[in-house]
């Protein structure tokens, strides 16, 4: 981790470990970066570090990061020497985290100032919950509210296999990604893979380790605009954005299923639960078999 980047600011400058680590990966994010950072620094809960990883940006991101880090000792700022891809950068901030709880946060979005306080209270109180997040309000490029996103859910089924299946069936726009997570549990997963929609595989895997709790309050304002959301990119551009070094050799559909298998097999859950989750994956492989073979023949031709 230290070879791939230069730490421009390493936070408190002592050995104090905050209770919460917030990770903010950024690439060419000068337009919204300051607003996103301020929404974290102004939280009502203050015992946190903010880890910013600049993915070799070519705009004014570095200057903004250095200015912000000079003003607040809670900021740890690293600049990658080369563009390591989106998911590798998101994983970088998670691996650098030191707190008991961890939150990813986008450099394009903003959080309600009570987000950390409300979510940490749940995680302190309910040991079976591995992730807590609030409702999401979608906003445009100017910060105007588009509306409440209606498809965020709690995933609190008693059985790990049921949580895994429900996440795979129901999660689409992954707003839980910016929730507050037990870091120890997150680090038991394989984190993000290097292909589109791999975050859905990660969060299905995380659901095997515990429940997701959704709070009724709006705690995230997520920006849906070109340049701020990867969902607007064409498929090939999205692959380059996620991992510029291997976009040309991806078998995305195959990876989705293989990683689903492996996530279940390595999870510390009962054998009956593994079989139930694997049965779900096998059925979907069967239903998707023609597309899988098409992808393989296309790549080999």
191-235 per-position pLDDT tens digit: 999 888 999 999 999 999 999 999 999 999 999 987 665 554 555
Rounded Cα–Cα distance for residues 61 and 23 (Å): 16
Structural domains in the chain plus CATH codes: 1-107 (3.90.550.10), 110-175+190-301 (no CATH)
Give the pLDDT of residue 2. 53
Any bridge partners for residue 212, and if so which? 131, 155
Which CA distances in Å does 188 have to 156, 203, 205, 244? 20, 12, 10, 26
Place of tokens 């893979």: 193
Asked if residues 261 and 278 have their Cβ atoms less than 8 Å apart, the reply is yes
Asked if residues 70 and 9 have their Cβ atoms less than 8 Å apart, the reply is yes
Asked if residues 195 and 168 have their Cβ atoms less than 8 Å apart, the reply is no
In Å, how far from its chain's centre is CA 210? 17
* ∠ Cα 203 193 97 (to 5°): 70
* ∠ Cα 90 91 97 (to 5°): 100
Give the pLDDT of residue 130. 99
Three-class HEC string of 182-230: EHHHHCCCCCCCCCCCHHHHHHHHHHCCCEEEEEEEEEEEEECCCCCCH
DSSP 8-state class, residue 26: E
Q: How far from each other are the two terminal CA atoms of the chain, in whole angstroms?
A: 37
Which CA distances in Å does 183 have to 23, 96, 130? 12, 11, 9
Which CA distances in Å does 257 have to 54, 177, 262? 31, 20, 9
Residues of the chain predicted below pLDDT 70:
1-3, 11-14, 227-250
Give the pLDDT of residue 135. 99
Place of tokens 């809960």: 45
Give the pLDDT of residue 240. 54
Which CA distances in Å does 269 have to 170, 189, 208, 242, 264? 22, 13, 7, 31, 9
Q: Look at the pTM and tell me if it is higher than 0.85.
A: yes
60-98 per-position pLDDT tens digit: 999 999 999 999 999 999 999 999 999 999 999 999 999
Asked if residues 132 and 119 have their Cβ atoms less than 8 Å apart, the reply is yes
């Amino acid at each position: 981790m230290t070879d791939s980047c230069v730490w421009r600011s390493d936070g408190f400058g002592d050995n104090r470990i905050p209770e919460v680590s917030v990770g903010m990966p950024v690439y060419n994010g000068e337009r919204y970066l300051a607003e996103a950072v301020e929404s974290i620094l102004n939280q009502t809960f203050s015992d946190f570090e903010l880890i910013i990883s600049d993915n070799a940006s070519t705009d004014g991101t570095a200057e903004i990061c250095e200015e912000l880090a000079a003003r607040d000792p809670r900021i740890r700022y690293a600049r990658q020497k080369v563009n390591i891809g989106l998911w590798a950068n998101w994983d970088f901030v998670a691996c650098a985290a030191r707190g008991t709880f961890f939150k990813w946060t986008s450099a394009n979005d903003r959080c309600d100032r009570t987000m950390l306080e409300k979510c940490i209270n749940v995680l302190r109180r309910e040991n079976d919950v591995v992730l807590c997040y609030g409702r999401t309000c979608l906003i445009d490029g100017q910060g105007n509210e588009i509306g409440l996103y209606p498809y965020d859910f709690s995933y609190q089924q008693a059985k790990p296999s049921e949580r895994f299946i429900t996440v795979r069936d129901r999660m689409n726009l992954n707003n839980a990604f910016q929730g507050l997570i037990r870091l120890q549990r997150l680090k038991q997963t394989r984190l993000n893979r290097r292909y589109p929609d791999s975050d859905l595989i990660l969060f299905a895997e995380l659901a095997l380790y515990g429940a997701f709790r959704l709070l009724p309050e709006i705690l995230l304002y997520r920006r849906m605009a070109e340049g701020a959301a990867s969902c607007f990119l064409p498929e090939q551009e999205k692959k380059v954005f996620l991992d510029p070094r291997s976009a040309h050799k991806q078998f995305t559909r195959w990876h989705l299923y293989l990683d689903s298998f492996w996530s279940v097999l390595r999870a510390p859950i009962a054998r009956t639960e593994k079989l139930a989750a694997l049965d779900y994956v096998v059925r979907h492989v069967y239903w998707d078999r023609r597309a899988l073979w098409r992808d393989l023949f296309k790549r080999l031709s």
